[in-house]
Amino acid sequence: MKSAYTFIKKNSVLFFMKRKFFFKLFLFSFFTFHFTFFISDASAYDYPVETKTLSNGLKIIVCEKPGGTETEVQLWYRCGSKDETDGIRGMAHMFEHMMFRGSKNYMGDGDVFIDSMESIGANCNAYTTFDRTVYHETIPNEKIEMVLKMEADRMENLVLDQNTLDVERQVVGEELRNGMNNWFQRMHSDVYEHLYPTGHPYRVDVIGYLDQIVNFTTQQCQDFYDKNYAPNNCTLIIVGDVKAEDVFALASKIFGGIKKQLPPTETSAASTLLADSLRGYEYSVDFPVQIYGYMIPKPPTSSPDFFAWLFFKDLMFTNPNSILQKEIVQDMQAAYQISEASDDWSIYSNYCELYCIMQAAPGNVKVKKMISSQVQEVIEDGMDETLMKNYIESLKAQRLLGMYQNDFIANELGMADRYFGDYNQYNRVIDEFEKITPDQLHDVVVKYFSPENFKVINIKPTF
């Protein structure tokens, strides 16, 4: 339930994927992960959405979606690994685990929160990224009050004693060690360690460092909790057959008495990475594959370049029907797959990590030449406008599939609120794509995918 790692087998190759939002290796449909969060048009999203912010800063977003017996409850804390400092690397992820333990009014052994959810026929989980930690539950409609009381108690009264810390340090440490038993994770950890410049908010991966995790103190945990787990650093999202005013009244009664904390100090702005040089270009992997890794600077979601960048990246690389997936993976069968191991949605500029995984055999250099040639062709000649329009239409159709799911809607609202500061912007993404002209797309491709920024690392097998 709470494991931070998921193992997926595809094409007889075992790949490592961190939970949901980091280390996305695109072993399943492109639409499931990227654009299902935001692809929309205003006419398709006709459920009423209302919001209210309590006096203590807790933001509440309610979507009244009639019908169904289940309600989606999500709490989006605006903290992640970027909020850690040296000495507590891995703290944000470990708190994702500790929050399932007991709190003042809900004591017990083991994962008290999970046990309580399962006892009422609900399911729950969580995930941590660089920028956010999200707790989500799918619950019976009649259990909303109970679940909100438990959420409020662990927001305010989490038990942070030495026993809890010892247990969770061991669990997280074991996860990290188990992850390192996977060939892709071992390779990726080596690459990631040399990827970002010193001082960048994403310099250390979300999982953190084992030598620091095993030395966390209860005081360090308490300080992190007090600073980041506060109502004014959280958005509560509820989607289901509910009435917004009823939810606001209930949430005010349950969460209203929790004191706000001083707003966390925002990490200093990071560079665009456009002028950055990688700290390594040759790596090894103890598995019979050869990999070309493409490290491409990505603009933050706030950048005017973001949507055009995302549009090109997916159309060229990561959509199952993208240009390179079709040519290299499907038609030529020159590679097992082209996988992404990074998060597209980020507050700061980060590296998009694309890995072209091939059989370890002579002649693979032709694959690298083909990829470079396709990108260079767009730089020189631009992208076909008809192809762009057809792609957008396919995204519109895909989004409709998700509108029946409460968790889909909650994710859309949460992502828009976190990265745009306004849940209403959930329905502007298709508009942004439709505004992109071939000339604008060309300018972004030249800026981010030109040879000086389209960096390639070579990963060879050790045997």
pLDDT surpasses 70 at 39: no
> Is the C-alpha dihedral spanning 363, 367, 370, 376 positive or negative?
negative
Do residues 89 and 212 lie in contact, with contact meaning Cβ atoms separated by under 8 Å? yes
Which pLDDT does position 110 carry in this prediction? 85
Least confident of 89-98, 284-293, 427-436: 427-436
Q: What is the DSSP string of 196-233?
A: SPTT-TTSS-TT--HHHHTT--HHHHHHHHHHHSSGGG
pLDDT surpasses 70 at 341: yes
Confidence of residue 380 (pLDDT cuts 50, 70, 90): very high
Which pLDDT does position 36 carry in this prediction? 38
Confidence of residue 58 (pLDDT cuts 50, 70, 90): very high
| Tens of pLDDT, residues 237-250 | 999 999 999 999 99
Confidence of residue 266 (pLDDT cuts 50, 70, 90): low
Look up residue 58 and give its amino acid: L
Instruction: Quote the CA–CA distance of 167 and 231 in Å, as a whole number.
Output: 27
Do residues 158 and 225 lie in contact, with contact meaning Cβ atoms separated by under 8 Å? yes
Kindly state the average pLDDT of the residues 36-64. 77
Kindly state the average pLDDT of the residues 69-75. 98
Do residues 359 and 289 lie in contact, with contact meaning Cβ atoms separated by under 8 Å? yes
Do residues 286 and 463 lie in contact, with contact meaning Cβ atoms separated by under 8 Å? yes
Which pLDDT does position 267 carry in this prediction? 61
Q: Which residue has the tokens 């493409």?
A: 294
Least confident of 14-18, 156-160, 172-176, 295-299: 14-18
The mean pLDDT value of the chain amounts to: 87
Which pLDDT does position 269 carry in this prediction? 63
| Tens of pLDDT, residues 202-229 | 999 999 999 999 999 999 999 999 999 9
| Tens of pLDDT, residues 385-415 | 999 999 898 888 877 777 789 999 999 999 9
Q: Is the pTM of this model over 0.85?
A: yes
pLDDT surpasses 60 at 15: no
With pLDDT > 70 as the criterion, what percentage of the chain qualifies? 89
Least confident of 161-165, 255-259, 261-265, 456-460: 261-265
Q: What Å distances lie between residue 186 and 14, 191, 351, CA to CA?
A: 13, 9, 19
pLDDT surpasses 90 at 128: yes
Kindly state the average pLDDT of the residues 362-368. 94
Do residues 122 and 71 lie in contact, with contact meaning Cβ atoms separated by under 8 Å? no
| Tens of pLDDT, residues 154-190 | 999 999 999 989 998 888 888 888 888 899 999 999 9
SS (H, E, C) 56-124: CCCEEEEEECCCCCEEEEEEEECCCHHHCCCCCCCHHHHHHHHCCCCECCECCCCCHHHHHHHHCCCEE
pLDDT surpasses 70 at 274: yes
Domains and CATH numbers, the chain: 5-38+270-461 (3.30.830.10), 46-255 (3.30.830.10)
pLDDT surpasses 70 at 26: no
CB atoms inside a 10 Å sphere around CB 45: 16
**Residues contacting residue 204 through CB under 8 Å, at least 6 positions apart:** 81, 84, 89
Confidence of residue 27 (pLDDT cuts 50, 70, 90): very low
pLDDT surpasses 90 at 16: no
Kindly state the average pLDDT of the residues 324-338. 95
The values of phi and psi at residue 404, to 5°, are -90, -5
Distance of CA 201 to the CA centre of its chain: 15
Helix (H, G, I), strand (E, B), or coil: what is residue 339?
strand
Do residues 459 and 292 lie in contact, with contact meaning Cβ atoms separated by under 8 Å? yes
